């Protein structure tokens, strides 16, 4: 039996996960990578990283797989693990800057740890909203600090509103998808 480190229930569940839970988390990371790769192939807006289309497309896809990973495995650290799996695959294959999914995934994990349960569609919708908010903020900051060109101020509000809506819809989809995967 593994020694469980101090730090509460949220941290303990990471170290007590079984093969099924880890498999679902890794599957979520792989499926997220496939979806983002296909979006990058077929959408110039995804590659351009603009203020509207790129975050909306990313938040239509990413929260669904991240929330599904948390719900299917019932592990509060699963969101970050799905995002790390995605980031590792993206860096290994694309050798480019991946979308910043780990930071908002940490926010989703904190949300579920605070909430104490993965039940209820309202929590998944809020997780999608939170993911979208943190993702949009992180990407806007990243484009300003590291690329030197920020998003136009006239596009920021419209892009944020549509991104938040996309995140909420994707969170709800992740709730349903995670419920289906939980039965596997």
Flag whether 1 is in a domain.
Answer: no
Total-model pTM: 0.78
Domain count along the chain: 1
Flag whether 135 is in a domain.
Answer: yes
Flag whether 39 is in a domain.
Answer: yes
Flag whether 48 is in a domain.
Answer: yes
Flag whether 2 is in a domain.
Answer: no
In sequence order, which residues have a C-beta less than 8 Å from that of residue 115 and are 6 or more positions away?
123
Range of the domain at 58: 9-182
List C-alpha distances in Å: 172 to 77, 131, 165.
19, 12, 11
Give pLDDT tens digits for 49-71: 677 788 888 888 889 989 988 88
Taking the C-alpha atoms of residue 140 and residue 26, their distance in angstroms, rounded to an integer, is 28
pLDDT over 90 percentage in the chain: 25
Flag whether 4 is in a domain.
Answer: no
Mean pLDDT, residues 135-148: 84
């Amino acid at each position: 039996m593994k020694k469980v480190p101090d730090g509460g229930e949220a941290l303990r569940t990471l170290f007590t996960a079984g093969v099924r839970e880890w498999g679902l988390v890794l599957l979520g990371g792989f499926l997220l990578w496939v979806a983002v790769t296909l979006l990058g192939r077929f959408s110039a807006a995804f590659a351009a990283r603009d203020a509207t289309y790129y975050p909306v497309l990313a938040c239509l896809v990413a929260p669904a797989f991240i929330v599904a990973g948390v719900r299917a495995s019932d592990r509060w650290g699963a969101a970050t693990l799905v995002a790390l799996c995605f980031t590792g695959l993206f860096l290994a294959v694309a050798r480019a800057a991946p979308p910043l999914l780990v930071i908002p995934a940490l926010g989703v994990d904190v949300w579920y740890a605070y909430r104490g349960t993965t039940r209820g569609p309202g929590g998944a919708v809020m997780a999608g909203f939170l993911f979208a908010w943190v993702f949009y903020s992180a990407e806007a900051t990243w484009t300003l600090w590291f690329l030197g060109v920020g998003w136009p101020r006239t596009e920021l509000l419209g892009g944020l509103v549509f991104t938040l809506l996309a995140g909420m819809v994707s969170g709800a989809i992740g709730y349903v998808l995670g419920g289906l995967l939980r039965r596997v």
